[in-house]
A and B are shown apart, each in its own frame.
Chain A
Amino acid sequence: MQTVVNLWPLIGVFVIIIGFVLRFNPLLVVSAAAIVTGLAAHFPLEKIISEMGEGFLQTRALQLILLLPLAVIGLLERHGLRLHAQNWIASFQRATVGRLLIMYLFVRETTAAVGLTSLGGHPQMVRPLLAPMAEGAAENKYGKLPAPVRQKVLAMCAATDNIGLFFGEDVFVAFGAIALMHTFLLGSGLDVEPLHIAFWGIPTAICAFIVHALRLYRFDLMLERSMAEVAREEVDAAQELAR
């Protein structure tokens, strides 16, 4: 660590943090950070803009996941997909948000662990199916949810999809991250079997399931409490009116 490291590019990181905290438009913040970082690394402006264009072109495939399902999902929503998902879950008396999401977490994590990572995802699974089902399960139990509670339920659906995916996919031997780790270690003179790297991911994967499932279980208790409070307030308000 005796070599001189140029710390100036870190300014870009500060631009990002300050921009996000002050809630400027993120696209502006990211562009500003890119330019500042490039200047700090002594790149000429023309090279910075070219690199931005190059990077933007290279990462186009990301966009397909989001853009291509929209027409189908929109069409199905127009014809009542979300409504039907809500009604259907309501026919299960014992369904709660926590139980539904624990089940989803289990399926998402185990399928990702055998390489089926595209079985979930936000545009094609969470928005049209999982979120309305969770909302339906909650409304079935408590009636209409107040906006802040509803938002917490929806955010938890997205979070559960992410957590299931992340801690599942890394256990799959043929996943890109495993190849990356294997190649890097090989470059450092350590020959490690990809199978061993995948295997040693299993303890963390199991712990992640337990930790998040416990949180989902407690999420049900939290819902119970906050909805009881809402009900109490409503009763109080009604009595106030009657008086």
Chain B
Amino acid sequence: MIISIEYFYWLAGVLLLITAGMILTDRTHPKRWTSGLFWALFAMVFLIGDRLSPFVVGIGVLVMAGIAGIGGVGRGTHAELHVKAARASAGRLGHKLFIPALSIPLVTVIGSILLKNTQIGGVPLLDPKNTTFVSLGIGCMVALVLACILTRDTPLQGLRESRRLTEALGWTMVLPQMLAMLGLLFNDAGVGTAVAHVTTAYINMDYRLVAVMVYVLGMALFTVIMGNGFAAFPVMTGGVGVPVLVGIYDANPAVMAAIGMFSGYCGTLMTPMAANFNIVPVALLELPDKYAVIKAQMPTALMMLVVNIVLLYLLM
């Protein structure tokens, strides 16, 4: 491939390393050394992670968790543009400000759909396994160029802004990856089988409705624990879906699978384990309540579980 996801790992690593460097040279930073170390360690995962042994990376992860645990990741001060200047600039640029912002999703879509199978001299243009991520990376670079031209600001200011937002997100930024890691470990340790056992072994599924409820609610509960519907699907479908719903009650497997996965998604809406959807936006929007987004989603998720039980009962 010509454009590999590797390059964007390096870019991410460089961005994080610059953030760490800016913090370490910032004498006014309240947590200068610990914050700097935290982001530098994180940068290493992207820059040289593949060449390190997994054990060393694991130790690095534990050190990062330790730094975050003692409150060592702080926020530096940032020189913002004066409100008046920002207002003037908004007035001057107007709708043009939307162009770079919208070019990120636009380029991502173009890349991941139109350029997906493009080859140059028999070599695929984009990393075939990671088309979306690679397209997103290209989109961000295109957008950065557009933004610099439009605002007549420098890429260096872009790096400062990247540091500001990285610090605003703080350790929350690492949480989705930590949880994905935990999900893999849960799988290996057999947490899935244990949960399926607990949810199914003690319930009498002689009634069609009870069986439907066990499957739908089990998918949701399991997803709440694992943070991911994809992990729940094989366990619940293997434990209840195929043997009971299809085997005994003769359900249409397509209906069962579709509604089962959506039930898992209802779980995703309710769990802090799905940090990239539920916890990261809280940090991005700078909300004080860590669970604000989950609380906003909870009623929809619960109502959809009821809807799913009814739909599965009627359609299967």
Contacts and interface: CB of A to CB of B under 8 A. Distances in A.
B147 A75 contact: yes
Contact of B296 (A50, A159, A196): A159
Given A59-B180, A184-B233, A155 B165 contact: no
B285 to A, nearest CB: 5
A37 to B, nearest CB: 5
Interface string A50-88: 111111111111111111111111111111110111011
Contacts of A66: 169, 173, 176, 276, 280
Interface of A: 1, 5-10, 12-13, 16, 20, 24-28, 30-31, 33-34, 37-38, 40-41, 43, 46, 48-81, 83-85, 87-88, 115-116, 118-129, 131, 151-152, 154-159, 161-163, 166-167, 170, 176-177, 180-181, 184-185, 188, 190, 192-193, 196-201, 203-205, 207-208, 211-212, 215
A126 B292 CA distance: 15
A78 B88 CA distance: 11
Contact of A16 (B181, B273, B281, B307): B273
B182 to A, nearest CB: 5
A71 B133 contact: no
B54 A70 contact: no
B58 A79 contact: no
Q: Among the interface residues A43, A64, A185, A197, which one has the most CB atoms of the partner chain B within 10 A?
A: A64
Interface stretch (B26-34, B93-101, B207-215): B93-101
Nearest to A212: B300
A54 to B, nearest CB: 4
Given A37-B186, A159-B297, A118 B112 contact: yes
Given A62-B180, A122-B281, A156-B296, A50 B55 contact: yes
Interface of B: 5, 8-9, 11-12, 15-16, 45-46, 49-50, 52-62, 64-66, 68-69, 71, 80-81, 86-87, 89-91, 93-95, 97-98, 100-101, 104-105, 108-109, 112-113, 130, 132-133, 135-137, 140, 143-144, 147-148, 150-151, 153, 155, 157-162, 164-166, 169, 171, 173-186, 188-191, 193-195, 197-198, 200-201, 225, 229-230, 233-234, 237-238, 242, 246, 252-255, 257-259, 261-262, 265, 268-269, 272-273, 275-282, 284-285, 287-289, 292-293, 295-297, 299-300, 303-304, 307-308, 311, 315
A67 B101 contact: no
A interface secondary structure, majority? helix
A197 B261 CA distance: 10
B253 A192 contact: yes
